[in-house]
Amino acid sequence: MASSGCDVIYGLERDPPPEFENYDRCGSFLFDEPLRYASIGNPNVVVDGDGNPIGLMPWSWDDARTQCQQRGMDLAVFNDQRELGMGAEDAAWPYWIGQRTIGTVAETVDGCPALTAPSSLHAIACGMVTTANEIGGASCDGQLPPMMEPNVVIGALCETPRPDSIACLGQNPAAVEYFLSDSTLTYDRAKAFCASNDAHLVVVETHEEWLHLSKRTKTEWEKPFWLGSRFDGTTWKTENDCFGTYSWTGGTPGTPANGSCVASKVRVVDDPEEGLSGTVLDGVEPTACSEPQSFALCEID
């Protein structure tokens, strides 16, 4: 059973984590999940004749949202003052968030109630955080009044959307059955391999699961693998319809091509001074789905 809005959800197939037995996706929780948020900077850098950065051009709310979606995220929506204070510790103000005010009505990208509806001179004002604990509104093109410093929005805060279904909050990875194919496959063949074994390509839903997969990559698998996620031209869609959590190599997927899939990247390290050796999971990256260079990592929920 899935729901939209802020309905409380019961009776799903997976057993919910004890703290989420009465799940409300618009409640204040998960803001301490390590991979939940990503702070990104305004990419419209102005340089001088020597290539040195000297300023920023305006960066629109829509363009910021697109960059969040390319990461498998969306612009962040704060559900209470505590999340506003803790969710963006590394972000520089002013930065875009996932709400807009049309007249006097505030709306958010995930349909949850807006924390506040700041007044604005603009008929449509896009939400931004202006100080540590204050939300304001600005022209959605990212140009701020000349008297403000800086006078453009300089960043955005992305977050992994909260799922409609409690079944997508993730499980204890130690209780999940994972298995690897014997050979490398294309994405579609990897997907079929998992399905033939009553499983699906792995969808990572929590930071805890990333740590579990990283450990098993080092101690058992030692191979790159497909994740169950494909880019649809706007954002990443997973094989189980839950929102995935991604640890992108280099911190960003860049601008993924429509139809790209996600594969893990591994590397062999040998650094006795740092106490590092063996095969390590080095994040994930967009990969052509037709490339038979990764193994199928399947999971049975």
Out of 131, 159, 187, a domain closes at 159
Alpha-carbon distance of 62 to 49, in angstroms, equals: 30
Out of 112, 134, 159, a domain closes at 159
Residue 165 resides in a domain: no
CATH number at residue 30: 3.10.100.10
Q: Which residues contact 277 (CB under 8 A, 6 or more apart)?
A: 269, 270, 271
Distance of CA 151 to the CA centre of its chain: 28
Identify whether residues 150 and 181 lie together within a single domain.
no
Alpha-carbon distance of 215 to 205, in angstroms, equals: 16
Identify whether residues 142 and 20 lie together within a single domain.
yes
Question: 40 pLDDT band (50/70/90 cuts)?
Answer: very high
Structural domain range at position 186: 170-300
Identify whether residues 62 and 201 lie together within a single domain.
no
Q: What is the value of pTM for the model shown?
A: 0.89
Identify whether residues 190 and 111 lie together within a single domain.
no
Identify whether residues 247 and 276 lie together within a single domain.
yes
Residue 273 resides in a domain: yes
Peptide bond into 118 cis (omega under 30): no
Identify whether residues 184 and 204 lie together within a single domain.
yes
Residue 100 resides in a domain: yes
Among the ranges given (60-64, 76-80, 271-275, 276-280), the one the predictor scored with the smallest mean pLDDT: 271-275
Alpha-carbon distance of 40 to 48, in angstroms, equals: 23
Residue 2 resides in a domain: no
Provide the H-helix boundaries in 45-159.
Answer: 61-70, 81-86
Identify whether residues 99 and 210 lie together within a single domain.
no
Q: What's residue 184's pLDDT?
A: 98
pLDDT at 89 over 70: no
Residue 71 resides in a domain: yes
Q: What percent of the chain has pLDDT over 70?
A: 90
> Helix or strand or coil: residue 44?
coil
Residue 246 resides in a domain: yes
Residue 33 resides in a domain: yes
For the chain, how many structural domains are there in total?
2
Identify whether residues 136 and 261 lie together within a single domain.
no
Hey, what are 50's tokens? 């020597």
Identify whether residues 12 and 155 lie together within a single domain.
yes
Residue 29 resides in a domain: yes
Out of 126, 159, 192, a domain closes at 159
- Mean pLDDT for 44-67 is 94
> Helix or strand or coil: residue 268?
strand
Q: Which residues contact 245 (CB under 8 A, 6 or more apart)?
A: 33, 35, 36, 72, 160, 204, 205, 206, 207, 209, 210
CA terminus-to-terminus distance, the chain:
16
Q: What's residue 81's pLDDT?
A: 86
Identify whether residues 284 and 218 lie together within a single domain.
yes
> Helix or strand or coil: residue 54?
strand
119-151 tens-digit pLDDT: 677 889 999 999 878 899 999 999 999 988 899
Hey, what are 153's tokens? 């929005």
Identify whether residues 143 and 176 lie together within a single domain.
no
